[in-house]
Chain A
Amino acid sequence: MAVQEYFLPQSLEQALDLLAEHAPALLVMAGGTIAMPLINEGISMPEKVMGLRRAGLDTVRRENSTLVVGATTTLTQLAHQTDIPMLQEAVRHIGGWQIRNMGTVGGNLFAPPPAGDLAVALLALDATVVLASKQRGQRALPLTEFFTGFMATALAPDELVTALHIPLPRGKMSYIKYGRRHANTPAIVTVAAHVVVEAGKVVDAHLALNAVGPHPIRARRAEQVLRGAPLNAATIAEAAREAAAECEPFTDAIATDWYRRRMTEVFVRRALERIMG
C-alpha cells in the first residue's frame, strides 16, 4: 500500500496521542534523512508516517550544568551552541550542509553505523536520553543502555525520544572522524574521548567509538587502562591497543574489518594525544 496517512503533529502531546493510537504501524521520522531515502527507493513501504518537524521539540537550553537538547533540534541548530565544543566538531563532520539542516539530534541515535557521528560524541559525554509515552509518561535512560544492537534500541513501540541531557564536561575532549574523504563521508572509525586529569592522573575517562561495532560503543577496557594512570605515551599506547582489541569492526564498501581495527588503534592514540597536549 502506498502511504495512506502522513501526520504532522503540532505538539509532543499530539505526537504521543498519534503514536499511542497507531503504533507499531506508524513510522516516525524527524528530519527524514534516514526514512525518506528508503521510502523513495521503495525499500520501506509504510502505510502511516509521522513527521516530528512541527512538534516543538527543537529547543536547546542550559539547566545548571546540563545542556538540554530537544530531540528534533537540527544538527545546524546544535552547531550554534557553544557550551560543548566537541558537539560542534562532531556536527561539522556529518553529511553536507543540507543534511545538517534537516537531520536531527534525536534522529542521529537511529543512524546505523558507519553513520551516527553525533551519537558517538554523546556517548563520550555520558548523555542521558529522555523517552516519553502516553501511557507511562517520561523515563530517562543513560545512552549506553539505549543502544541494544544493530539498528536496535531500548525504545518501546509507543515511545518517542524527546530530549538529550548532556552534562557539561569536566575534562578535556577530543573528537576525530576518519573517513575516505575530508567531508560528507561515511566513517572508517570515529573516536570521541572525554578525559578528566587531576594531579597528573586520569580520574575519569569516557572513550566512545563508532563504525567499529553494531552501534556507537564505549571502549570500556581502554577506559580501564586510562583510569588511575598518568596520561603519558605508554598509557595512551596501551589504551589504543585495548580499544582496537575490544571493538567489533565490520567490512563494508568503505573499509574492511581489518583496516577498521588498525585505524581504531591509530585514531584512539591520536585522540588521546590531543588531550595530553
Chain B
Amino acid sequence: MSEVASAVASEVKETFHVVGKSVPRRDGIGHVTGKTVYVDDISFPGMLHLKMVRSPIHHGIIRNVDFSEAEKVPGFVRVLTHRDVPKNLYTILCLIGVGPDEEPVLAVDRVLYKGEPIAAIVAETEEAAMEAVSRVRLDLEELPAVFDVEEALKPDAPILKPWGTNYFIYEGHPCRRVRFGDVEKGFAQADYIIEEVYNTSPIEHAPTETTACVAKPEPDGRYTVYTNTQALFFTMDNTALILQVPFSKLHFVGGTVGGGFGGKVDVIVEPIATLAAMKTGRPVKFKYTREEEMRVSSTRSAWRMYFKDGVMKDGRIIARKVISYADSGAYNRHTPYVITKHAANVAGPYFIPNVYIDVYCVYTNRQPASAMRGFGVTPASFAVECQMDKIAETIGMDPWEIRFINAYRNGDMRPHQKVVEDATLIEVMKAAAELAGHPLPEHLLKMHSWDRERA
C-alpha cells in the first residue's frame, strides 16, 4: 500500500464511525420483504389512470385531433389538451435561469419527436385509458426530420425552434465556449498535431421501476403527489409553475426510487397528473409502460467530439482544441447544463496552457436527451482518455507516463479559470497501478500533486 493510502487507512480505522465500515441499510428490511412502498404500489379508492396520446411520427404539423371515438369507450373520463394547461410551455432549468421556455407539456400545433405527448386521456381503468388512446384519430402532416447533430446544423436542415436555429444560445453565442491561452500559437510550436473524432450513442437508463406518480386531491384544497422523481423540489417547483399555483398548494412525497440513474430528474408525469387530479377531483395515477420508458423517456445524449491536440516530443500537451456536439433531441431538458459541465471538463484532468472549446447543444427529432450519471462528463472522459492513448501511441511514449506528465497539480489554472486546489490524480494513478500490479518507474513515483504548487 502506498504511504498516502496507508496513512488514510489508519486514520479511518481509528477515528471514523461510519467511513470504512459496513452499515446496515436503513431501507433494507423493507426491500427484502417487499414491504417498501413504491409509487406503483400506492392506490386510492376512485383513482383514475392517465395515458398519453403520442405522436407516431418524428416531425409534423398537427392538423386535427378527433376524440369522438375515444369518448365512447366505457370508463373514459376526460381528455386534457394544451388548452387545459395553464402555462403549457416550460423548460425544466428555468429554475436556474435557463431559457426561453420551449417544451410544451402537451403539443400545440407541431410535434418534434416520435412519442411526443399530444393529449392526455383519463379513464377509470388503465385498460380503458389505453383503449381510448388507441381510438383517438390524429390528422398529422409529416415534415422532414433530422437525426444527426451536424446534419441539423446545415443551412437546409428543417428548423425546429421558434428562434430560428437548431442550437441552444449561450449568452448570444451558438455554443458554450472556453478560451484559455492561444491555441493556434500552441499548435505552431508543437512537435506533433494529433486529431481524432469520437462518437457516443444515446443510452437509456432503463430503471427497473418505470417513471410514475399518483396525484391526489386533499380536503384542504392541496394536492399530494407521490412520485419516484429523483429531484423532488425541482419537480414540485416546475409543477407549480406549469399549473400556475402557489408552491404551498402542492405536497410532494418521494424518496423511494426503483432505479433512476438520472432518468427520473425530468419533470414529466407530475404536472399533467396533478392537472388531471385538479380537473376531475379524483386521485390520478400516471405510470409509464416499459415501452414508454424505453422509447419516450429521455436518454443520455449522443455525442460527437472533434479533438485537435498539439504535443511536444517530451509528452507535454501544449494546445487542445475541442469542438463537441451533443444531441439534445427535440427539447432542452437538462442538456444545456450537461453542455456546460462537458465544456468545463473536456480538456481532461490535465494542465494544458492553450485551450479552445466549443460545445453545441443541438436539437434533432430524436426523443429528448437529458441527465445521466456524470452529465456530459462521461462522454468527455471517454474521448479524453482515448485521445491520451492515441497521443502516447503516436509519440511512442508509455500511456502511464503521458498521464503523469500532464496531470494537473495543485495551483494549476484550469481552462475555465478555476485554480486546482485538491488534485489527487497522480496519487490515484499510483494506487491504481499498485492494485493492478503494474510497476511504475522511479521518476513517476517521485511525482506528486503538489510538486508544482506555487508558494
Contact = CB atoms under 8 A, between A and B. Distances in A.
Is there direct touching of A and B in the complex, by C-beta distance under 8 Å?
A: yes
17 contacts: A1-B131, A2-B127, A2-B128, A2-B131, A40-B289, A41-B289, A41-B290, A41-B291, A42-B127, A42-B130, A42-B131, A42-B133, A42-B134, A42-B289, A43-B291, A45-B131, A45-B134
Q: How large is the interface on A (under 10, 10 to 19, 20 to 34, 35 or more residues)?
A: under 10
A1 B75 CA distance: 11
Interface majority SS (helix, strand, loop, mixed), chain A = loop
Contacts of A43: 291
Contacts of A40: 289
Interface in B293-336: none
A43 B290 CA distance: 12
Nearest to B292: A41
A2 B129 CA distance: 11
Interface string B113-156: 00000000000000110110110000000000000000000000
Interface majority SS (helix, strand, loop, mixed), chain B = helix
A6 to B, nearest CB: 14
A2 B127 CA distance: 7
B242 to A, nearest CB: 27
Contacts of B130: 42
Contacts of A1: 131
A1 to B, nearest CB: 7
Instruction: In the A-B complex, list the 8 residue pairs whose CB atoms are closest, starting with the nearest.
Output: A42-B130, A2-B127, A41-B291, A41-B289, A42-B134, A2-B131, A45-B131, A45-B134
Interface of A: 1-2, 40-43, 45
Contacts of B128: 2
Interface residues of B, number: 9
A35 B118 CA distance: 28
B2 to A, nearest CB: 37
Nearest to B75: A2
Interface string B261-298: 00000000000000000000000000001110000000
A42 B54 CA distance: 13
Contacts of B289: 40-42
A118 to B, nearest CB: 25
A44 to B, nearest CB: 11
A43 B54 CA distance: 14
Nearest to B129: A42
Contacts of B290: 41
A111 B128 CA distance: 28
A43 B291 CA distance: 10
Contacts of A2: 127-128, 131
A96 B133 CA distance: 33
Contacts of B291: 41, 43
Interface in B160-194: none
A184 B133 CA distance: 33
B126 to A, nearest CB: 9
B141 to A, nearest CB: 25
Nearest to A42: B130
A42 B127 CA distance: 8
Contacts of A42: 127, 130-131, 133-134, 289
Query: For A40, A41, A42, A45, which residue has the most chain B Cβ atoms within 10 angstroms?
Result: A42
A222 B207 CA distance: 44
Given A40-B289, A45-B131, 7 more contacts: A2-B127, A2-B128, A41-B289, A41-B290, A41-B291, A42-B134, A45-B134
B64 to A, nearest CB: 23
A2 to B, nearest CB: 5
A41 B131 CA distance: 11
A45 B133 CA distance: 12
Nearest to B51: A42
Nearest to B294: A253
B277 to A, nearest CB: 23
Query: For B127, B128, B134, which residue has the most chain A Cβ atoms within 10 angstroms?
Result: B127
A211 to B, nearest CB: 21
A251 to B, nearest CB: 15
A43 B289 CA distance: 12
A33 to B, nearest CB: 15
A85 B274 CA distance: 57
A41 B51 CA distance: 12
Contacts of B134: 42, 45
A105 B317 CA distance: 62
A1 B290 CA distance: 22
Contacts of A41: 289-291
Interface string B179-221: 0000000000000000000000000000000000000000000
Interface string B80-105: 00000000000000000000000000
Contacts of A45: 131, 134
A90 to B, nearest CB: 27
B70 to A, nearest CB: 13
A1 B69 CA distance: 12
A42 B289 CA distance: 10
Contacts of B127: 2, 42
Contacts of B133: 42
A152 B4 CA distance: 67
B213 to A, nearest CB: 20
A41 B290 CA distance: 8
A69 to B, nearest CB: 32
A252 to B, nearest CB: 14
Nearest to B289: A41
A44 B290 CA distance: 15
A268 to B, nearest CB: 29
Nearest to A3: B127
